[in-house]
């Protein structure tokens, strides 16, 4: 009987942050057999109090993980030492710890170009604080063209959202958002899913969409279900198509209509086609508690001419999108594809994903996963 194959964990991981005086701070996490030693060991030259704080941050953030494998010891170091009052390095420490244990991965090719700024007084709840717009301005001078920037905090509607040209940027208010998960301590559920954005060039990527649902007060009935759905980034024609997709999929639930105000956001709103529809429907179902969350991200592509019946149909660009997903899928990711693609999957495709810790299902209908 063959055992379960696990992806090889990295020996070390690097995450950087930026100090208030503009210096670049590097946090390095390495892994070794625990051997009855402490689970986390931290070192900051001539600053034992900072080392203790980093150890506390990492241990508290680990409490939000569903599973914890404590067989390895993680050693974290920081250089240079920040001012005792600075805290924006905390998110970088948490990400470095997760990267070396295979629980988080930056975009392919950006493992050495990850910048993070954020802090928290409630790491044990997964909450992340920060000022995204201010942090973006601080980080710009140090961000590589192909770098990844993770900012802690909430996007305020009156202040706008950070826009980092030529780089991939995420703003997270809680650690679950790294994988698209909802904040379980919040009355508003926001869930992200990913879909392959393929144009045949250097901009090919997994784009994300985010669905946030706000429960309506008891006795409140919207004028129409479509009017309760907003997607301010989209033009009127695409907004109408998105509204019709969500309304039809909720009709399939039987109890999904007339209960929510909904906001939909896209990482890259300029795209063509309907291949995002399955990712949209699944994010909405997860936000409303209709689907189990994966350990990692949910990556999906598919469309339908009958969402009211839960039907999932194939989309164009199969081979290119399969190759893109295979390159970027990571441990814990769940991949959903149309059932019509199953017969044409390349040899060894499913086994290759499984070796990386991802799972795949080709589905004919939603609600049967």
Q: pTM (2 decimals)?
A: 0.66
pLDDT of residue 5: 44
pLDDT of residue 66: 75
Mean pLDDT, residues 318-328: 92
**Buried/exposed 311-335: b ≥16 CB within 10 Å, e otherwise:** bbbbbeebeebbebbbebbbbbbbb
Categorise residue 19: left if φ over 0, alpha if ψ from -120 to 50, beta otherwise. Answer: beta
CB 280 within 8 Å of CB 209: yes
**Helices (H), ranges, the chain:** 48-62, 90-100, 132-139, 236-253, 277-287, 318-328, 349-355
pLDDT of residue 86: 92
List pLDDT tens digits, range 337-367.
Answer: 999 999 989 999 999 999 989 999 999 999 8
List pLDDT tens digits, range 2-44.
Answer: 444 446 788 999 999 999 888 999 999 999 998 888 899 999 9
Please report, for residues 29, 93, 166, 369, the alpha-carbon distance to residue 14 in angstroms, rounded to integers and kept in the order given: 6, 9, 21, 36
| CATH number attached to the domain at 12-274 | 3.30.230.10
Read off the pLDDT band of 195 (50, 70, 90). Answer: very high
Q: Does 231 or 68 have the greater pLDDT score?
A: 231
80: preceding bond cis by omega (within 30 degrees): yes
pLDDT of residue 112: 72
pLDDT of residue 139: 80
Mean pLDDT, residues 51-67: 89
Q: Does 323 or 66 have the greater pLDDT score?
A: 323
pLDDT of residue 7: 61
Q: What percent of the chain has pLDDT over 70?
A: 89
Cα(301)–Cα(298) distance, rounded to whole angstroms? 10
pLDDT of residue 304: 96
List pLDDT tens digits, range 152-169.
Answer: 987 654 445 566 545 678
Cα(338)–Cα(316) distance, rounded to whole angstroms? 11
């Amino acid at each position: 009987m063959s055992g379960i194959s696990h992806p090889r964990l990295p020996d070390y991981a690097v995450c950087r942050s930026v100090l208030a005086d503009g210096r670049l701070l590097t946090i390095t996490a390495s892994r070794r057999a625990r051997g009855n030693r402490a689970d986390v060991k931290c070192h900051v030259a001539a600053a034992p109090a900072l080392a203790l704080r980093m150890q506390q941050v990492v241990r508290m953030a680990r409490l939000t993980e569903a599973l914890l494998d404590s067989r390895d010891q993680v050693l974290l170091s920081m250089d240079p030492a920040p001012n005792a009052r600075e805290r924006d390095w905390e998110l970088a420490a948490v990400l470095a710890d997760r990267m070396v244990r295979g629980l988080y991965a930056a975009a392919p090719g950006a493992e050495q170009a990850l910048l993070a700024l954020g802090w928290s007084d409630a790491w044990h709840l997964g909450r992340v604080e920060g000022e995204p717009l201010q942090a973006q301005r601080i980080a710009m001078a140090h961000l590589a063209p192909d770098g990844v920037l993770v900012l802690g905090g909430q996007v305020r509607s009156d202040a706008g959202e950070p826009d980092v040209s030529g780089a991939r940027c995420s703003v997270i208010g809680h650690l679950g958002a790294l994988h698209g998960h909802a904040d379980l301590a919040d009355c508003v559920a926001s869930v992200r899913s990913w879909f392959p954005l393929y144009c045949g060039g250097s901009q090919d990527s997994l784009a994300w969409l985010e669905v946030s649902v706000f429960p309506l007060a008891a006795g409140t009935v919207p004028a129409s279900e479509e009017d309760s759905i907003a997607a301010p980034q989209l033009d009127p024609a695409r907004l109408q198509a998105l509204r019709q997709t969500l309304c039809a999929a909720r009709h399939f639930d039987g109890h999904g209509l007339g209960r929510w105000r909904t906001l939909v956001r896209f990482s890259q709103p300029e795209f063509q086609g309907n291949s995002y529809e399955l990712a949209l429907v699944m994010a909405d179902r997860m936000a409303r508690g209709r689907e189990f969350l994966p350990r990692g991200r949910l990556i999906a592509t598919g469309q339908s001419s009958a969402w009211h019946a839960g039907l999932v149909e194939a989309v164009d660009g199969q081979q290119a999108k399969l190759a893109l997903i295979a390159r970027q899928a990571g441990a814990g990711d769940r991949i959903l594809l149309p059932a019509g693609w199953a017969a044409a999957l390349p040899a060894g495709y499913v086994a290759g994903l499984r070796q990386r810790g991802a799972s795949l299902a080709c589905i004919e209908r939603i609600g049967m996963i």
